[in-house]
Amino acid sequence: MVSTRRFPPSVVNKNGSYPKLLWHASQHERKPGEVILPRTDFWERWGKTTLLKTIEQYRPEHCRSMADAVFCCADLSTLSHIGFDFSRYLYLVEPLDENGKSLGDKIDTLPRHDIMWHDPLAGYVRRDADFSEISKNQARAYWEGKPYPSEDNYPLWEYLLPAVKVKGILKIDKKRLRYKWKIKL
């Protein structure tokens, strides 16, 4: 079982603070220091997903398109919710801007979106070909970074970033249920 702690003990800075890193899940093996860019085949892979196309339809111009983003999150509970167990690798990554400069000191100010909006939207998309005003408002709330209003759930924030740099790797061996860290900070 993967710990739900944000970082493994070996990644904590010497002064006890946590580095400004995020999580990224992937099927593809990467090396420490490698830069991950958005997929070039996003819509070919996800284009049949009506939910994502619908959410993207209501994206404000100032927000990064899902097709132009590397998806990341701040904690493992978010990855667990979206199915990281289908991935072979979990990466601790440093967020980068379009020019390759670190955004690590700005993580707390980066735009984020609560993926909890996806669940109710998926229901509306399946039932409502015209996409009701309620659904449009929910899609807009996702893009505005509003937390989904629920007593039972807490926000599951995802970050849509232009690029990230691999800082740590957690390789998942599902057959043996083993996890192996490779860290380079």
Q: How far apart are CA 84 and CA 19, in angstroms?
A: 22
- The Cβ of residue 89 has, within 10 Å, a number of other Cβ atoms equal to 17
Residues in CB range of 46: below 8 A, 6 or more apart: 52, 66
User: Would strands 178-183 and 113-114 be described as parallel, antiparallel, or unpaired?
Assistant: unpaired
Question: What's the pLDDT band for 9 if we cut at 50, 70, 90?
Answer: very low
**C-alpha dist (Å) from residue 171 to 30, 45, 177, 179, 181:** 10, 23, 10, 6, 7
Domain assignment present for 2 = no
Domain assignment present for 3 = no
Domain assignment present for 146 = yes
Residue 131 has pLDDT above 70, yes or no: no
Question: What's the pLDDT band for 124 if we cut at 50, 70, 90?
Answer: low
Domain assignment present for 89 = yes
Residue 4 has pLDDT above 50, yes or no: no
Return the half-sphere exposure (C-beta side, CA atoms, 13 A cut-off) of residue 84: 22
H/E element, 180: strand 178-183
Task: Report percent pLDDT > 70 for the chain.
Answer: 69
Tally of structural domains, the chain: 1
Domain assignment present for 8 = no
Question: What's the pLDDT band for 5 if we cut at 50, 70, 90?
Answer: very low
Mean pLDDT of the chain: 77
Q: What is the pLDDT averaged over residues 77-97? A: 75
Q: Find the domain containing 34 and state its range.
A: 16-183
Q: How far apart are CA 71 and CA 160, in angstroms?
A: 5
**C-alpha dist (Å) from residue 162 to 37, 140, 148:** 7, 21, 25
Domain assignment present for 123 = yes
Domain assignment present for 5 = no
Ranges of beta strands (E only) in 35-162 are 35-36, 70-73, 89-96, 113-114, 157-161
Whole-prediction pTM value?
0.78
Residues in CB range of 144: below 8 A, 6 or more apart: 60
Task: Kindly report the length of the chain.
Answer: 185
Please tell me the predicted confidence (pLDDT) of residue 53.
80
Structure tokens at 181: 């860290």
Domain assignment present for 100 = yes
Please tell me the predicted confidence (pLDDT) of residue 128.
55
